[in-house]
Structure 1
Amino acid sequence: MTAPGYAVFGTAIGDCGIAWSERGVVAVQLPEGSEEEARARLTARLPEATESPPPEVIQKAIDDIVSLMGGKRTDLTGIALDYGGVPEFQHRVYEFIRTIPAGKTLTYGDVANILGVPGGAQAVGQAMGRNPFPIIVPCHRVLAAGGKDGGFSARGGVATKRRMLVIEGALADEPTLF
């Protein structure tokens, strides 16, 4: 298999990055303070990746992410993901999280219960913290118990999570279950 390619691009919430393989998106880098910082964070995660012009399917993914972060309802569920190396439980969580529509939220406990893992809120939270595909796998739509923000690993932390939820029309103060 060839080394992943990557590109850095601007959005309404800052400079992001995306890496891909022949099978799909390998990683998304949430916003950083600059293009250089986004590039550095992405290449730290994927040192073998090479910066290159994105293929058409990845350019469409970039355009869709930019659109969503710009406030337009954009469906990202058609973007192919390369789950190589992602443990089975996390894969299940990520596939389910992709079904939460923009403007809606669930709690970690809700997700665990729906997946048939009662009491698994912490495991869901850990999966969210390891999400290699943020935005495409919208971990920002998963909140802690009682609709509290929970954590968020992007630059800006919970403030970035709240900003993304506001852009999508979700109420960050209370879950809007679907």
Structure 2
Amino acid sequence: MHHYLIFETVGGFCGIAWNDNGITRFQLPTKDAAAAERMLLRRLPNAEPGTPTPDVLEAVAAAKRYFEGQETDFSDIRLDLAGQEAFFRQVYAAARRVRWGQTTTYGALAKELGAGPEAARDVGQAMAKNPVPLIIPCHRVLAAGGKIGGFSAPGGATAKTRMLELEGVHVDPPQPAQQTFGF
């Protein structure tokens, strides 16, 4: 049985879902509580509102601190990633080691896992399907050359950039395909 809670942060309304084994879903901020609930329930249609466990309360408090701009470490939060394929679980474990204010790339994570550079796309797929963004900090994983890359959460790459800026990481905006010479 999955339970969930919608809560407010300075960044907007978030959602969190859990079962007896740990946190299973996290919804990044939306503008209103109804949108956060709708997006969370789209992935867990049978979840019911519930009384948060101490672990869930800690994750909620950590998310609130994060969106206030306080350095936050989510690495001890207990997750339930059952149902995720083994390679994705390895990617998520590696991504959880990327700390506040640090970034890595899809290719670097693939290499860390002993896979070749061609596996960077698979790492990207794992990030796109991350069930608990923020807790598994997929926003800290960039495309080659430090480019922002994709972000499947509400707000897309803009939200990813904002989250990195909260952590003091400056990411250059995407460059136009063709640059003009200055003469």
For normalisation by structure 2, the TM-score amounts to 0.91
In the alignment, structure 1 residue 164 sits paired with structure 2 residue 159: no
Q: How far is 1:168 from its partner?
A: 1.1
CA distance in 2, matches of 1:62, 1:71: 15
Residue of structure 1 equivalent to 2:49: 51
Supply the AA of the counterpart residue of 2:85.
P
Q: Is the 1:148–1:173 contact (alpha carbons within 8 Å) kept by the matching residues of 2? A: yes
Q: Is the 1:102–1:170 contact (alpha carbons within 8 Å) kept by the matching residues of 2? A: no
CA distance in 2, matches of 1:33, 1:75: 25
Q: How far is 1:172 from its partner?
A: 2.0
Residue of structure 2 equivalent to 1:93: 91
Residue of structure 1 equivalent to 2:35: 37
CA distance in 1, matches of 2:19, 2:167: 28
Deviations 1:69-107 (A, max 9, x none): 211111111100001101000000001100000100001
Residue of structure 1 equivalent to 2:62: 64
Unaligned runs of at least 5 residues, structure 1: none
Q: Give the 3-state SS of the residue equivalent to 1:18 in structure 2.
A: strand
Q: How far is 1:56 from its partner?
A: 1.8
CA distance in 2, matches of 1:102, 1:38: 25
Q: How far is 1:31 from its partner?
A: 1.4
Over the residues paired in the alignment, what is the CA RMSD in angstroms? 1.1
Runs of 4+ in 1 over 3 A off after TM superposition: none
Q: Give the 3-state SS of the residue equivalent to 1:8 in structure 2.
A: strand
For normalisation by structure 1, the TM-score amounts to 0.94
Q: How far is 1:57 from its partner?
A: 1.6
Number of matched residues?
Answer: 172
CA distance in 1, matches of 2:131, 2:2: 14
In the alignment, structure 1 residue 82 sits paired with structure 2 residue 83: no
Supply the AA of the counterpart residue of 1:35.
A
CA distance in 1, matches of 2:96, 2:61: 18
Larger radius of gyration: 2
CA distance in 2, matches of 1:144, 1:12: 28
CA distance in 1, matches of 2:19, 2:32: 24
Aligned-residue sequence identity (percent) comes to 44
Q: Is the 1:8–1:35 contact (alpha carbons within 8 Å) kept by the matching residues of 2? A: yes
Unaligned runs of at least 5 residues, structure 2: 174-183
